[in-house]
Chains A and B, each alone.
Chain A
Amino acid sequence: MEKSKPRARSRSTEKTWELRLYVAGQTPKSLAAFANLKKICEEHMAGQYHIEVIDLIKKPQLASGDQILAIPTLVRKLPAPIRKIIGDLSDTERVLVGLNLREQK
């Protein structure tokens, strides 16, 4: 999987999302997670996100940095606070809650 390049970085005061997706090889769960993630990002933060995919099979030493246990894990690095969303991201609502895109009213 390659890094996904941002389409256009907005220069407005809108937040830029730094997202890291941790996977372990090209398993169905990992592929599903990536696809789901792209979809959500395009829908809710088009042009304001940056996804980095880290394959732990290739770089196992990176697992401890972000305290990764589950695969796949999506880490919202920015904006703070750090949030971890684990799973194949098929439950869109939960993903949005996890990313704080759905405000809790």
Chain B
Amino acid sequence: MTPAKQTKKQLKLLSKAPTGIPGMDEITGGGLPQGRPTLVAGGAGCGKTLFAMEFLVNGAIQYDEPGVFVSFEENADELAQNVASLGFDLKKLGKQKKLIIDHVRVERSEIEETGDYDLEGLFIRLGYAIDSIGAKRVVLDTIEVLFSALTNQGILRAELQRLFRWLKDKGVSAVITAERGSGTMTRFGLEEYVADCVILLDHRVNEQMSTRRLRIVKYRGTLHGTNEYPFLITKNGISVLPITSLGLDHQAPAGRVSTGIKELDDMLGGKGYFRGSSILLSGTAGTGKSSLAAAFVDAACRRGEHCLYFAFEESANQILRNMQSIGIGLASHVKKGLLTFHVARPTLYGLEMHLVTMHDLIQYHKPEIVVLDPITDFFAVGSSVEVKSAITRIIDFLKTNQITSLFISYTEEGTPNESVVGVSSLIDTWISLRNLENRGERQRGLYVLKSRGMAHSNQIRSFELTDAGIKIGALDLAGRRAEFNPA
């Protein structure tokens, strides 16, 4: 949507070769530069070969652009085996003349250099492979092997320069992989020759969590995001998670959905939440947030709507038992398949993996309601910046799909913690639950901190959990009754 609008305004369109990798084409505005070489650099195990292979395979299958994979390290069988688990059948593509894998083996011990030479043999091999299937995409993985095999660096560098010019003349979109250097971008300075587009892949372990990041260092002729984008290698290949994959052009649905409790609906303009909005329930421990969420879910399931409940602290059975004790029976909804629980500790894997898991499950179940209970623990997995960006992505994704989302967050007594403050700006409706001590008794109080787009009550109401469900009523303040004007 938005990237397309941008490119139309440019005078001379830089054509792009789409990678077909989820998220990648979004952050590059369409893909890699067509007809030009792209350098993909990273440490060992970063995913360079996989990236290059996906570029080629997707090109062959989805965009009708045959490709040649020149491998300097692994042979054709090894490569085919490595990507078989992703569902890529390289042998079949070879038979269909959509893909050629050329294994170039250089053995230093076999070679003796005796005078002037050039690398025309490589050019001829490559040219032959490209011409034989009309390839439009080429991968060289990784040409640095030549640096260890041939001692005459002068000849090698001159020939590399010639090679990249030759590739441009051939009109192929090339991906060149290279090992990350210490101090320099690549070990052998390939970035001097491949200057049109440079992508860095990174794989780091932080506090026992491993994350993969991708960064577009350079992309001539295109406005590109310069941030680091987290990515995952899933069972389907690489998945890049752009921060805002979908500009802020969500629809603003006007429909309303009941909170499950009539009095709370009354506090929210008489009708409840906006459909497709994001709701935050915050409060100290034991204030009844999960119960509120359960009431909402219960009402939705009774209407026949599907709910996806992501539980990060308690098991599904525990939640069912807890809710049963206040008269909310969710077990029948689970049996009917209207309510699905997904339970995982936040520390189980990295933020990105959580995001992808949620994406996948949401796309699979297509719920109308999603609950995240609680989000507070995620701040132990990542920094507040990372968690906020992760939640932003989830909210964007849910809003685009008009899914109403409920987030539960724990706060400390007294001050709202930074996690809540950081996230609250993304939220449409914020309900806060407090413990109020009065005359030696504790009452639970509930009030609506904000609710965009509607008139809402600003009264603190009492909030009780009884056998028969949740009761919201007037606070008992022993004679002191503050009257606030609603809204």
Kindly identify which residue among A67, A68, A95 contacts B112, using a CB–CB cutoff of 8 Å: A95
For residue B466, CB closer than 8 A to chain A, the reply is no
Chain A proximity of B97: nearest CB distance (Å): 15
Chain B proximity of A71: nearest CB distance (Å): 4
At the interface with chain A, which of B30-38, B99-107, B247-255? B99-107
For residue A73, CB closer than 8 A to chain B, the reply is yes
- Given known pairs A60-B127, A67-B106, the reply for A83 and B121 (CB within 8 Å) is no
At the interface with chain B, which of A3-11, A12-20, A86-94? A86-94
- Given known pairs A60-B125, A63-B128, A67-B104, the reply for A84 and B111 (CB within 8 Å) is yes
> Contact: A91 with B121, CB < 8 Å?
no
We find that the number of chain A residues with CB closer than 8 angstroms to chain B is: 32
> Contact: A87 with B115, CB < 8 Å?
yes
- Given known pairs A67-B105, A67-B106, A98-B112, the reply for A87 and B125 (CB within 8 Å) is no
- Given known pairs A60-B128, A61-B128, A67-B104, the reply for A84 and B121 (CB within 8 Å) is no
Inter-chain CA distance A95–B115, complex, in Å, is 9
Inter-chain CA distance A85–B110, complex, in Å, is 8
Inter-chain CA distance A86–B110, complex, in Å, is 10
What is the number of contacts between chain A and chain B, taking CB atoms within 8 Å? 92
| CB within 8 Å of B: which A57-104 residues | 57, 60-61, 63-64, 67-73, 81-91, 94-95, 97-98
Chain B proximity of A70: nearest CB distance (Å): 5
> Contact: A83 with B117, CB < 8 Å?
no
Chain B residues near A70: list those with CB within 8 A: 117-122, 150
Chain B proximity of A8: nearest CB distance (Å): 27
Chain A residues near B128: list those with CB within 8 A: 60-61, 63
> Contact: B121 with A22, CB < 8 Å?
yes
For residue B169, CB closer than 8 A to chain A, the reply is no
User: Size range of the interface on B?
Assistant: 20 to 34
Chain A proximity of B223: nearest CB distance (Å): 39
Kindly identify which residue among A24, A57, A68, A87 contacts B113, using a CB–CB cutoff of 8 Å: A87
Inter-chain CA distance A33–B119, complex, in Å, is 15
- Given known pairs A60-B127, A82-B110, the reply for A69 and B116 (CB within 8 Å) is no
Name the residue among B106, B111, B113, B117 with the largest chain A CB count within 10 angstroms. Answer: B117
- Given known pairs A67-B104, A67-B105, A67-B106, the reply for A91 and B125 (CB within 8 Å) is no
Return the CB mask of B113-151 against A: 1 if under 8 Å, else 0.
Answer: 111111111101101100000000000000000100010
| CB within 8 Å of B: which A23-38 residues | 24, 29, 33
> Contact: A57 with B114, CB < 8 Å?
no
For residue A53, CB closer than 8 A to chain B, the reply is no
Closest 3 CB pairs of A and B: A98-B112, A87-B115, A60-B128
Binding site for B on A (CB under 8 A): 22, 24, 29, 33, 56-57, 60-61, 63-64, 67-73, 81-91, 94-95, 97-98
20 A–B pairs (Cβ distance < 8 Å), ordered by A: A22-B121, A63-B128, A69-B121, A69-B122, A69-B125, A70-B119, A70-B120, A70-B122, A71-B117, A71-B119, A71-B121, A82-B110, A85-B113, A85-B114, A86-B117, A88-B114, A90-B115, A91-B114, A94-B112, A98-B112
A29-B116, A82-B110, A91-B115 are known; give 7 further A-B pairs, CB within 8 A: A24-B121, A63-B125, A70-B120, A71-B120, A81-B110, A90-B115, A91-B114
